[in-house]
Structure 1
Amino acid sequence: MKTILASIALMTCSLNATAFSQETHKRIVVDAVEYMKQNPNTTAYQKLEIWAQQLNTTPNALAQIMGQAAYDVDDFEDTFLCGAITGSCVQAPVWGLAKSIVKYTSYWHFQNHSQGTDAHGNDFGGYNYDKLTVWGAVDTMAATWLKGDYLDDGQGGETGWFSADKTKYNTYNITEAHYRIDSQSNYPMYKDFEKAPFQPIDNLGQYWYQSFIESKNPQILGFVFHTTDLLQPHHTWTTSDLNHSGWESWVKDYYDKENLNSFTFVSQALDNFTPINTNSNDVRPLLTQGGAFSYAQGGIVLNSTNHFDRVNTGQQVIPNAIAMVIHLLNHAMEKL
């Protein structure tokens, strides 16, 4: 039985799998636009400026819109898990009622570089407790609390005991279907949370990028930029624990104090990515490069809270996150 003690334990572990804080996600986008403004000859800033004029706004205002959209992805109300017994479907665990604690939507925000292909056929899978190679008490207790809980698949789908069906949102046939790009899925994969292979974040980015190509909506393009989670090492090593929350808070607190967004480092980081071919609309190879970088360079922050270790890692992953957004913006401006 799920006990009050288990709930208290989870709350004290500070479950927060939103990777970079929402404020940091927004800063990364704003800084990417500012870098482009300062380097118009090597970026697509002039096209960004023309786009802003067409929208009767300014590049700075566009940066705020897109940055806010990157911020907002952690607040999506698109993922509900349902109780194995009660059939009651919710978008966050009971301990998630506290401010800034993770919603289930965050489980789509990982790309596990410690494993190969996943059950869907993706080159790298997303969060899957059963396949983690590093984990902590938060991961284990969440899987214990949610054991047997299933992904909401709408009215008439999976139910709790005695056909209890309190569906709230058809997550499997909407959210999971959106993020199923170029992969295969079947609902039994999501009948037990502790074994569920969530789709990786690069598929999330690809879905929203395709939506931007069709709509030319800057807010939707901003959703794509939430994929800077791939530069957060916890999201490529894949764990909700191991100093996840503490690292997130540290980055937010020291973003300016330690000059983590140094444009000198951003200039260098741009060379770590292969620009997306103008004739292609597939941004996933670029996103995976970002994930590979954080996996290779940032693992120390899972085990160390030393300030120097964090500065060293932050001065690598934040400039690369900004550089990744610049590459995405350069490509997006060619698609207007």
Structure 2
Amino acid sequence: MKTALIATSIAMAVCATTPALAWEQETHRQIVLDAVNYMKNNPSTTNYNKLVAGVTRAGFTVDQFATALGQGAYDVDDFADTYICGASTGDCQLAPVWGAGASIVKYTSYWHFQNHTSGADVHGNPFGGYNYAKLGMAGDIDNMAAGWLYGDYLDDGAGGLKGWFGDSSKYNSYGVTEAHYRFGGVSSASQYADFETMPFQPIDNLGQYWWQQFLAQPTAQSLGFTLHTTDLLQPHHTWATSAHNHSSWEQWVRDNYASQHLNDPALVSAALADFTPLAPAAVDIRPLLTQGGSYSYANGGIVLSSTDQGDRTRVAQMMIPHSIAMVVVVLNRAAERLAN
């Protein structure tokens, strides 16, 4: 059964049509590929041999598996799982018409933050996700979104919240997406009745949901989805803002990834020392993910205000190696699951 599941997800990833490019997605893919390559070159200090054994038993090469993982990490930005509906019209949409130029391609991206500028959220998470009312560094794009979406609500299915003139529910984003990322916390549809106060669940919960899916039925796809959590090493995602050079910084990282040697193995080895290894039977990876978030919040804030080449290079040479290292830690634990 496990072999079939891994095979199916690898086939889907290899044959998938690549969606419209966005640097975040390509960078996510490259981080995963570099993490697998690091393990390959350091088998004595990683669980690479167990990873090979599990993947080989499924009938695939490690390179094929890495490609599928990278595609999974890439695909999370394309999830069609979050609809926001107009306060007056009740019309529900996946994305704002103005979002393509503002780093808000789809509303699903609002689940990709862990706000370190504020404390615990209303759900009981130690760090909340994106919540405009709680942003410590709101900028022009955050303000524009809050103005455009003022009073708009999260789609919670037919018969739930509605606009003045009705409701055109397309997907129960509250009952499915938010519920997946809730983990026993306190939530109600009314908390998502107005965009400007919506307490989106944090990205570590997203990662934990897909990690649990992987543990239950191992697939390259679910593990790849888990690895999208390297967003936690992007400082804008822990300072919680869609503004302050968010998009231009991400584009810079993509454009300079190779030329600045951001995947330097020596830097990855050093970064691994900043993470607590997961136990061989670990079920909850959120403490590890939060370590990554705390690191980017403490060390990467300068890129919110500076576009200087030196500042960006210095921060990128910390954030990308730590992203790769965090993936290595997760894959070390995943290898234990694949070996059983």
The two structures have a TM-score, normalised by structure 2, of 0.91
- The SS at the match of 1:169 is coil
1:19, 1:248 within 8 Å by CA — same for their partners in 2? no
CA contact (8 A) 1:206 1:283 kept: yes
Q: Any conservation in 1 of the 2:102–2:247 contact (CA below 8 Å)?
A: no
Partners in 2 of 1:26 and 1:133 — Cα distance? 30
Q: Secondary structure at the match of 2:298?
A: helix
1:286 is matched with 288
Distance 1:150 1:139, change over 3 A: same
Runs of 4+ in 1 over 4 A off after TM superposition: 97-101
* Counterpart in the other structure of 1:314: 316
- The 5 A counterparts of 1:55-134 are 55-96=58-99, 101-134=104-137
Shift of 1:280: 2.4
Contact 2:138 2:243 in 1 (8 A): yes
Separation of aligned partners in 1, 2:175 and 2:167: 16
Aligned mates of 2:48, 2:158 — CA distance in 1: 47
Cα 1:211–1:261 change in 2 (3 A) is same
Between the aligned partners of 2:164 and 2:60, the Cα distance in structure 1 is 54
- The 1:100/1:193 distance shift into structure 2, 3 A limit, reads closer
The aligned amino acid for 2:134 is: K
Summarize the Cα distance change of 1:305–1:235 in structure 2 as closer, same or farther, 3 Å threshold.
same
Q: In structure 2, what is the Cα distance between the partners aligned to 1:132 and 1:71?
A: 26
- Match of residue 307 from structure 2: 305
Determine the C-alpha separation between the residues in 2 that align with 1:203 and 1:138. 25
Superposed CA deviations along residues 266-313 of structure 1, whole A, max 9, x for unmatched, are 000001000112232000000000000000000000000000000000
Question: CA–CA distance in 1 between the matches of 2:69 and 2:127?
Answer: 27
- Give the corresponding residue for 2:42: 39
Q: Distance in 2 between matches of 1:20 and 1:182?
A: 34
Shift of 1:114: 1.1
For 1:6-21, list aligned pairs within 5 A. 21=24
CA contact (8 A) 1:19 1:235 kept: no
Cα-to-partner distance string for 1:169-202 (whole Å, 9 max, x where unaligned): 0000000000001311111110000000000000
SS of the equivalent of 1:114 reads coil
Asked if 2 retains the 8 angstrom alpha-carbon contact of 1:202 and 1:227, the reply is yes
Say whether the 8 Å CA contact 1:19–1:232 is kept in structure 2.
no
Q: Which residue does 2:186 correspond to in 1?
A: 184
Q: Which amino acid aligns with 1:197?
A: P
Specify whether residues 200 and 172 from structure 1 end up closer, same or farther in structure 2 by C-alpha distance, changes over 3 A only: same
Q: Tell me if structure 1 keeps the 8 A contact 2:120–2:127.
A: yes
Larger mean Cα displacement after TM superposition, 288-297 or 278-287: 278-287
Q: CA deviation at 1:100?
A: 7.1
Q: Take 1:101 and 1:231, find their aligned partners in 2: how far apart are those partners?
A: 18
> Structure 2 unaligned runs (5+)?
1-20
Q: Which runs of 5+ in 1 are unaligned?
A: 1-17
**TM-score of the two chains, using structure 1 as the length reference:** 0.92
Cα distance in 2 between the residues matched to 1:43 and 1:278? 12
Cα offset, 1:261, TM superposition: 0.8
Give yes or no for contact 1:19–1:234 (8 Å, CA) kept in 2. Answer: no
Residue 155 of structure 1: aligned partner: 158
**CA-atom RMSD in angstroms:** 1.4
Q: Structure 1 residues 19, 286: closer, same or farther in 2, change over 3 A?
A: farther
Does 1:296 find its partner at 2:305?
no
Opposite residue 137 of structure 2, the aligned amino acid is: V
Query: Which residue of 2 is the match for residue 3 of structure 1?
Result: none
AA aligned opposite 1:121? G
